[in-house]
Structure 1
């Protein structure tokens, strides 16, 4: 009897593992030929009409790779970080972790040896899981916002083949989170300027490029009243970027994660600076790094 129960239990676990529900990590649009010009047009007035900004667009990253490293396997690679700040700000009032992927990259790439172009981004569900967001309103509103974005891409490229990146199982240990207490000065602006300068200097010393900056308190501050300060840095480590996205067995599909977004905020009347960002380990979780060199580089920076 015990053997039968053990066998049944083993089969149950095996079957559940075999038929585990696959989840969408990315949405992938594949178009024949080089559609960079049409993409660039979409990233101007059409995407801005949806409420998106492009704080720090980086076109022709592959050209920079070729200039700096002497070669590239890509015809097209652009990091077009976008943020719908008017829609995001009310959601940050509920869960500030949403800034971990906002701004985010609506990446475009084309391999030299393929007559097709790919446009891709992380799905709302993958972002929500990695950030550990559980609030129903945040999930619903963010999912709706991303659905509207996908409607624009589909309308712009009606002949695109749409596929999804897949992953299984729960994602754990996906975020870095730090809190730093400070003596709150009368003039908080000077403190913020000093912190931002120190962060920039520290990352630059470690070989990073400060690829972007976005201040959520800029503009209509009443849309985000619970914070005295809230900003993000976009971080890029160029040797790491080239190692992952270009050269042999290039993985430009992983550029949906690039540049990495680090958020920092101070709650209203608080004396605590909060910092957070997604871990690089998420890249391997969703894309499975090709080659030990890529994996070693990822672990070193994480």
Structure 2
């Protein structure tokens, strides 16, 4: 009986060690405050990535909510100069992670700086991709940058994700006439989309013409008439979730894709649903869940309106 109990404990420990959540978490001593988001931006830019956004949220938190429990809380977005083109051409929905996000945060009462970024497996799950080879290459490069520049950082994973039955990418499609000029279609969609953000409390800290990356500044062909992405933020969402699950900042700002493939008479619009925050970051706080679900409903309303 003693041997069986011992064996059970060993097996349990093995399973526990192998269990991985959806988020890579890094913790590094930053008592002196010398490690800054700008250092991380420079490290990524020098490591094969292009940083699109480096957004310090402390000021906005204090301005709108009068306080924050963090001395560092930054949202960073970036994309791979090596693999993004191949990834999006092969899997158009991968635009919802172009750029992808990294959360950088440190509470006022601690000496440790934290980084949070989605794993390749989590991105594959969200996108419905079985072949993770390109996502794995990007992941390998991200981890290499962090480990090279912060060799003393402790690497762990988030808790096991919660199960969800919801679609993890919310997508809407709109039919267009064959003879419509793609530029005119894009102009109208952008005008309608951007006009709808503010009334619902969304802001756009970053816009990206992804087709410039896909054509590599007009030196290569792109399968898309247009492909743009918006980084979308809703401050109450980020602030509320940060109080209990700061690692969810890897999902913020949310990247919204808007594209039309050549030869197709439809436009595709989509974004990673908030069910990813609830599942991957294991958001269980009642207020945070309510705020996220309200944002999901509001954003769905916007996309329905512009695609109907």
Question: TM-score, with normalisation over the residues of structure 1?
Answer: 0.84
Partner SS, residue 79 of structure 1 = strand
Question: In the alignment, which residue of structure 1 is the partner of 2:226?
Answer: 229
Residues 90 and 223 in structure 1, CA contact (< 8 A), matched pair in contact too: no
Matching of residues 39-118 of structure 1 within 5 Å: 39-44=37-42, 46-58=43-55, 60-118=56-114
Question: In the alignment, which residue of structure 2 is the partner of 1:140?
Answer: 133
Partner SS, residue 177 of structure 2 = coil
| Corresponding pairs, count | 278
- Counterpart CA distance in 1 for 2:231 and 2:44 is 20
Residues 225 and 260 in structure 2, CA contact (< 8 A), matched pair in contact too: yes
Residues 162 and 279 in structure 2, CA contact (< 8 A), matched pair in contact too: no
Partner SS, residue 211 of structure 2 = coil
Change (3 A) 1:145 1:223: farther
Q: What is the CA-CA distance between 1:220 and the residue it aligns to?
A: 2.9
- Counterpart CA distance in 1 for 2:102 and 2:85 is 20
Change (3 A) 1:114 1:55: same
2:156 to 163, 166, 169: 163
Question: In the alignment, which residue of structure 1 is the partner of 2:261?
Answer: 267
User: Deviations along 1:49-68, whole A, 9 cap, x unmatched?
Assistant: 3331122321x202220122
Question: In the alignment, which residue of structure 2 is the partner of 1:243?
Answer: 240
User: Deviations along 1:37-96, whole A, 9 cap, x unmatched?
Assistant: 45422312x3223331122321x2022201221111100011111112552112212111
Question: In the alignment, which residue of structure 1 is the partner of 2:203?
Answer: 209
Question: In the alignment, which residue of structure 2 is the partner of 1:180?
Answer: 174
Q: What is the CA-CA distance between 1:124 and the residue it aligns to?
A: 1.0
Residues 92 and 224 in structure 1, CA contact (< 8 A), matched pair in contact too: no
Q: What is the CA-CA distance between 1:245 and the residue it aligns to?
A: 1.3
Instruction: Give me the CA root mean square deviation.
Output: 2.3
Change (3 A) 1:168 1:22: farther
Moved beyond 4 Å, runs of 4+: 168-172, 221-224
Residues 204 and 210 in structure 1, CA contact (< 8 A), matched pair in contact too: no
- Counterpart CA distance in 1 for 2:34 and 2:83 is 27
- Counterpart CA distance in 1 for 2:253 and 2:221 is 24
Residues 44 and 51 in structure 2, CA contact (< 8 A), matched pair in contact too: no
**156-165 vs 210-219, which moves further:** 210-219
Residues 57 and 75 in structure 2, CA contact (< 8 A), matched pair in contact too: yes
Q: What is the CA-CA distance between 1:157 and the residue it aligns to?
A: 0.9
Gaps of 5+ in 2: 1-10, 297-308
Q: What is the CA-CA distance between 1:225 and the residue it aligns to?
A: 1.9
Partner SS, residue 54 of structure 1 = strand
Change (3 A) 1:290 1:169: closer
Question: In the alignment, which residue of structure 1 is the partner of 2:143?
Answer: 150
Question: In the alignment, which residue of structure 2 is the partner of 1:12?
Answer: none
- Counterpart CA distance in 1 for 2:36 and 2:162 is 37
